[in-house]
Structures are given as C-alpha cells and as structure tokens.
Amino acid sequence: MNLIEKVDRGIYAIDQMWTGNPKFSSCYLIEGDKIALFDTGPTTVIDRVLDSVKKIGYSPGDISYLIFSHIHVDHAGGAGSLCKNYPHLKVFAHEKGVPHLANPERLYKSMKRVFGDNAEKLYGNVIPVPEDQLHPLKDGEIIDLGKDRKLEVFHTPGHASHHLSLYDEKNKVLFAGEALGLYFPEVNVCFPSTPPPEFDLVSAVNSVNRLEQLDIIKLLYTHFGSARDPHSAIQRAKEMLIDWGRVINEAMNESNDKSYIFERLSEEALKCINHIKNDTEKYNKYKELIEYRSTFTCGPGYVRYFKKGGQVL
Ligand SMILES: [Zn+2]
C-alpha cells in the first residue's frame, strides 16, 4: 500500500496507518530550505512515518521543524520520542499547548482514563519534549521555511483551546489540522470533531469563519487527505457544527438520558452519508464510525459544552 501522496508542490501527505487503519490519520512533510513535519502522530507510528520520510528522499536528521496542530496524543504523542533521538529538532505548537508537551503527565493520564489498558497499545509512551527544543507560537506568526514557503499561524480554537492551523498564502494551501473536523475522501464526507473536555462551539464556528475568508486551493486535513472542493467543505463544516449543537441541545432539554441524547446526534449525523445508502458495505462502515463518535467523542463533547453554559447557535 502506498502511504505517501504528493499533494502539492513540495508537500507530501504521509498516511500513519494508525492501528492499521488506512486513510484516517496523516501528517505532512513540507519542503523549503528547511524541512518541516506538520503533526507526527503518536509514538506507535513514528517508525512508520520515518520510513515514509526516507522514501520521500530525506533522512530523519534532515527534518528541522515539528509543528503541531494541537497536542492531543494522536497528533503529538510521538514528539518526545522523536526529540530524544533527534535533539536538533525545533518543536512548534500554540503557546497554550507548549506546557503540555514539556510536561505530558496530564495528557498521559487523560489518555489512560479514556482508553484504559489499551492506551499504551494504541498510542505508546508519551515522554516530555525538552524545554530548550520548544517554541511557543501565537496567532499571526510566520514560520519561514525558505524557498518561498512561509506558513502563517492561525489560532483556531474549538476542537481544543490551543488548536492552530497553518496557511501558506503564496501557494494557497491550508493545513487545517482538526479545526474543520474530519474528512473522508473516499466518500467526500466531512463531519465535526468535538471531543470533551475542551470543545467549544462558539470558538469552533469563529475559527471556521476566519478560515473561510482565506483564498484556498488545497485544503489539507490531518484526518484525512485533501478536500475535493475546499469552500463547500468549509461551509459544510460550519453548518454541521451548528446543526449538531441544536440537536444535542434540544435532546438535552427533553431528557437527561445520555443514550437518548447520543442517539439523536447519530440520527442527525447519519444524514451526511445518505448519498452512499445504496452501497451497503460502505454505508455500514461509516454508520458504525458515526455511531461510535456520537457516543464516545462528539456527543460527550457537546454535552459537556452545554453543561458548562455554552451557547447554542
Ligand atoms: Zn485527531
């Protein structure tokens, strides 16, 4: 299976094949005078990602920068392990996320709480990034890789308070991270990614509104690949964030029963795969994914947001 795709001039998507699952999690190798990786994935995929880096034509030592969309373990869990072997690496993340890379204890504990004994198997060890390798980023900063490759930092809270996206204005490429949710190129479907404890609907929609203003030819997701039509994908991401919020809020007003609330969200979310209803195998695959996420990530994220007094839009 080919795990590398050249998605634009000087930009390669690397499929992490996390838990053996193709086309779910990726990171991006970005070329300039300096070489950067945008997200790395958890420790369990690092060897595979470095193999792909070699296949693209670089040795792991050629990478200068690691830039993280956010510090959740599925995106940045491997940062510490990489830094241990490559102490020259500079690690960039939003200033609010940087302390958790230096001291990942809280991340590790929440990973253990959610995944129990499976956590290590899924994500591997999470070790600290040495402080002198860490570089906090603010909204509006530019990371200049040289050779006309400038990456502007957009602070895009919502999925997490410290989430950031990168915009390459010259080449009209947006590295969205998870700010626009998940995208499944196989079926041209996107949907919100709204996990507890930090998901914030108002921030998420404000972030989408900012990204919507950009001139984008290539829209790249960490989960997964590039959108066929960036502007309609952004539009849909916003509508779904708002619609899902309304459904959850309504269900919470009707009942305290979480399984009822999550079922209502599933029903709403399933609308996005209506167009593949005739392809039973594919439909069932995405149905299962939607039901899982409605119950374990997206639903609980909205519920927590509303319980904290969050606004409906
Ligand atoms: Zn993720």
Tokens at 11, concatenated = 């930009």
β-pair type (164-168, 11-15): unpaired
Q: How far apart are CA 14 and CA 30, in angstroms?
A: 11
Q: How many CA atoms lie within 13 A of 15 on its CB side?
A: 15
Give 159 Cα–ligand 1 centroid separation in angstroms.
9
Decide: helix, strand or coil at residue 29.
strand
Cis peptide before 224 (omega within 30 of 0): yes
**Predicted TM-score (pTM) of this structure:** 0.95
- Angle at which helices 201-212 and 230-254 cross, to 10°: 160
* More confident call, 116 vs 55: 55
Q: How far apart are CA 282 and CA 263, in angstroms?
A: 21
Give 76 Cα–ligand 1 centroid separation in angstroms.
9
For the chain, counts of helices (H) and of strands (E): 11, 15
Q: Give 53's pLDDT tier (boundaries 50, 70, 90).
A: very high
Beta strands across the sheet bearing 225-226: 142-144, 150-155, 164-168, 173-177, 218-221, 225-226
Q: How far apart are CA 208 and CA 36, in angstroms?
A: 25
pLDDT over threshold 90, residue 116: no
73: which residues sit within 8 A by CB, 6+ positions away?
42, 107, 108, 111, 123, 126
177-229 pLDDT, tens digit each: 999 999 999 999 999 999 998 999 999 999 999 999 999 999 999 999 999 89
Q: Which one-letter DSSP state was computed for residue 190?
A: E
Q: Give the lowest-confidence range in 75-84, 117-126, 247-256, 267-276.
A: 117-126
Give 10 Cα–ligand 1 centroid separation in angstroms.
24
Give 223 Cα–ligand 1 centroid separation in angstroms.
7
Give 178 Cα–ligand 1 centroid separation in angstroms.
6
Give the environment of ion ligand 1: residues with CB less than 5 A.
74
Q: Give 110's pLDDT tier (boundaries 50, 70, 90).
A: confident
Which residues make beta-bridge pairs with 135? 92
Fold entry, domain 4-230: Metallo-beta-lactamase; Chain A (3.60.15)
Q: What pLDDT is attached to residue 54? A: 97
Any idea where the domains of the chain sit in the sequence? 4-230, 240-307
**Count of CB atoms situated within 10 Å of the CB of 275:** 12
Q: How far apart are CA 216 and CA 165, in angstroms?
A: 13
Q: Cite the DSSP H helix spans in the chain.
A: 46-56, 73-76, 79-85, 98-102, 105-115, 119-123, 201-212, 230-254, 258-269, 280-293, 299-307
Give 180 Cα–ligand 1 centroid separation in angstroms.
11
Q: Cite the DSSP H helix spans in 94-222.
A: 98-102, 105-115, 119-123, 201-212
Give 69 Cα–ligand 1 centroid separation in angstroms.
9
Give 254 Cα–ligand 1 centroid separation in angstroms.
31
Q: Once rounded to an integer, what is the mean pLDDT over residues 132-158? A: 97
